[in-house]
Amino acid sequence: MVFRHDDPDPIPRDQIRFVNESIGNAFMGWMYAVTTDKGASWSVWDAQQDLPKWQCCNYRLVGDVKLEVDGTGAMRLNTIPGRSGEAPELHTNDYGKHWYVTQ
């Protein structure tokens, strides 16, 4: 995953997480990556491609991610009022390979 950030903000250090010895994830800006096999392979979620009707660019879009051992989880988004495609929270049941809005 490559995320280029040209703002003067420091790179966050708390956005790399480990659920257990096999499952880890990282997020920054509008991107999220997860591995479930100790880093041998990764799945990347990118709001530019995976969040319908999302209007780029919100450098703080992914605010937090909580992921459980069973693959369920929630992604809290820092929305910009009036911004197309943004929702306050997304959910997953496959470790974050796919995210969806619940009604």
- What confidence tens digit (pLDDT) does each residue in 19-46 have? 999 999 999 999 999 999 999 999 999 9
Q: Report the alpha-carbon angle 65-70-71, nearest 5.
A: 45
Whether the CB-CB separation of 84 and 57 falls below 8 Å is answered with no
Q: Please state the pTM of the whole predicted model.
A: 0.89
Question: Tokens standing for 38?
Answer: 């100790």
* Nearest in space to 1 (alpha carbons), one of 53, 54, 62, 55: 62
Please give the pLDDT value at position 102. 84
